Structure 1
Amino acid sequence: MIDVYSWATPNGHKVHIMLEELGLDYRTHAIDIGAGDQFTDEFLKISPNNKIPAIVDSDGPDGQPMSLFESGAILIYLAGKTGKLLGATDREKYNVLQWVMFQMGGLGPMLGQAHHFRIYAPEKIEYAVNRYSNEAKRLYGVLDKQLSRTAYLAGDAYTIADIASFPWTRSWKNQGIELSEYPNVQRWFDAISERPAVQRGVTVLADKRKALTDDKARDILFGNSQYKKR
């Protein structure tokens, strides 16, 4: 059994989708990041960077429980555990992993910043909005060029590279993107959206998420509460 400590965010949905694709037994534990659940001592024991998602696998590699944080690491771990969605040969695996790193190091952080400065920032800073909106467009261009050559990000097979990137593209409007301008991304996005496991995965904990409207939640996520020493 895998215990998933998560919330309905792009990084959370990566792991939800992965577990659904693999058909693994799992239990979800809601970590309400707007209420500060990510700062509890219990959660910090398994996620020292106070970020969701995190998992505890009761049947780790040596038969003992193992905890993991960082969504990319969790995807790689689950792919290795099951031998699925990572490629069969070393060449295929490294090709998949480079696109996972592209998402972890660029696509996710930059789209997150575009979303933040366009939607959540208390003041609209033109420089920041333009910088991250333009970077979002550049990254969608990288995706579109790659997907003009292959059905999926790492080739003709669906892998954890797609699972990592797809949830971040669901909020394209808030990132200043018009998806129709990237026809290959649009085709890829539509194909993944139709997968039953994906449709199940993006509903996990979605009913618990609330609109970010109150000052306390904003402070917890973006203000001084985020930066306290723990």
Structure 2
Amino acid sequence: MAITKLANNIIDVYSWPTPNGHKVHIMLEECGYKLGKDWLAHPIDIGAGDQFNAEFLKISPNNKIPAISDPVGPDGKPIQIFESGAILLYLASKTGKFLPKSTRAKYEVLQWLMFQMGGLGPMLGQNHHFRLYAPEKIEYAINRYTNEAKRLYSVIDHQLKDHPYITGKTYSIADIAIFPWTRNWKNQGIDINDYPHFKRWFEMISERPAVKRGVEVLTALRKPLHDAKAREQLFGSTQYQKRK
């Protein structure tokens, strides 16, 4: 994998079609950036081990996607950012969109962004692993993370009971962060009809044009994780090797 930088104002996004990748793809499209014109998606094939490439590690030292490189940072100089939540905050600050200006409303959004980053994402990630990818079916782990997924969906459903969006009347980075992680609710052992307020929100977000565009980015490149090499790159000892 070679990382090619373009000498212009285009934001380079190093990503893969995962929930965290799609968060950034959606955010860029929602902010009015157009794929191929204002930003480029550079595939980091995590099944092939691209995330361990030295060039990518300079941008994302935790060897995780997504990461971005913006040639026009806050001071007019290039900036590189990893961690999807940090990227959402950066783009919200850069564009003035999807993060309220008032202190109270801002923190109401940020707490739900932290909910996704610290709870929903990691727990649903473990749910996916033990339900779909683990080499052996461990009943305790499957039950543990399926039950936790149901609890988290209940939290979201309750929050949406009196709100059209996660934090109220306004679409925000909280919605953008949470939505991609819930797209695979069937594989997570969830019956969407058990969560009517979530279902209403999910169907509404799914119809947003920018969301539709965002979730298609790089999707054609994704392959099922059936081969041993891909599983090793994602879950094996390569993850734990000491960096030089």
Q: Report the TM-score range of the alignment, normalised by the length of the smaller protein.
A: over 0.9
Residue aligning to 2:64: 51
1:20 is aligned to 2:29 = yes
CA distance in 2, matches of 1:20, 1:180: 29
1:94 is aligned to 2:107 = yes
1:27-57 deviation line (CA, Å, top 9, x unaligned)? 1100000000000010000100000000001
TM-fit CA distance, 1:154: 1.1
Instruction: Say what the alpha-carbon RMSD is for the aligned residues.
Output: 0.6
TM-fit CA distance, 1:215: 0.2
1:150 is aligned to 2:172 = no
CA distance in 2, matches of 1:21, 1:43: 26
Residue aligning to 1:42: 55
| SS of equivalent to 1:5 | strand
1:63 is aligned to 2:76 = yes
Matches within 5 A, 1:120-199: 120-199=133-212
1:171-212 deviation line (CA, Å, top 9, x unaligned)? 001111011110000000000000000000000000111111
CA distance in 2, matches of 1:80, 1:60: 11
| SS of equivalent to 2:42 | strand
Residue aligning to 1:2: 11
TM-fit CA distance, 1:88: 2.5
Range moving further from structure 2, 86-95 or 8-17 = 86-95
CA distance in 2, matches of 1:229, 1:69: 20
Segments of 4+ in structure 1 off by > 2 A?
none
TM-fit CA distance, 1:149: 1.7
CA distance in 1, matches of 2:204, 2:101: 23
CA distance in 2, matches of 1:82, 1:209: 30
| SS of equivalent to 2:187 | helix
Paired residues, number: 230
TM-score (norm 2): 0.93
CA distance in 1, matches of 2:240, 2:101: 42
CA distance in 1, matches of 2:107, 2:82: 21
Q: Which has the higher helix share?
A: 1
Range moving further from structure 2, 53-62 or 86-95 = 86-95
| SS of equivalent to 2:81 | strand
CA distance in 2, matches of 1:57, 1:174: 35
1:75 is aligned to 2:88 = yes
CA distance in 2, matches of 1:115, 1:175: 6
Structure 1 unaligned spans of 5+: none
Matches within 5 A, 1:107-118: 107-118=120-131
| Alignment partner of 1:207 out of 203, 220, 244 | 220
1:11 is aligned to 2:11 = no
Give 2:95's aligned amino acid.
T
Give 2:113's aligned amino acid.
V
CA distance in 1, matches of 2:15, 2:183: 18
TM-score (norm 1): 0.99
CA distance in 1, matches of 2:129, 2:240: 17
| SS of equivalent to 2:41 | strand
